[in-house]
Amino acid sequence: MSIVVLIISIVLFFVLFFGIGFILNMLLRMSWVMAVIYPIVAIFIIDKAPCSEYFTNSKAAFSDLGHRIASLAAADIIILSSGLLGAIAAGFAIKTLRKNGYQMF
């Protein structure tokens, strides 16, 4: 992966999850909803197994998930971490706006 693609991916994931988190926080009135949901989204991004396999063949599914997480490249970890930072930044932004008197919906 080239450095340009890495930088664009970092910015894209940060902005994408900041925007989704901001909208969810605004609509659901829970400041940290996306920061809690993000690890589940990251698992869906990382894992290739269908969700039903976690219930039917859970030992193999969790073993495969652990193997996939352990074999992530440094660039993938940085990109996924920037998405988590975007979700956390959305929570702080909503908290700050509500503290300053802005009420959304």
Return the SS3 of 1.
Answer: coil
Which tens digits make up the pLDDT trace of 67-79? 999 998 999 999 9
Backbone angles phi, psi at 99, to 5 degrees: -65, -35
Residue in this structure with the two tokens 């702080």, named with its chain if needed: 92
pLDDT in tens, 13-37: 999 999 998 888 888 877 778 888 8
Distances (CA, A) of 24 to 18, 40, 66: 10, 15, 29
- SS3 at position 27: helix
pTM of structure? 0.82
For residue 90, give the nearest of 16, 7, 40 by alpha carbon: 16
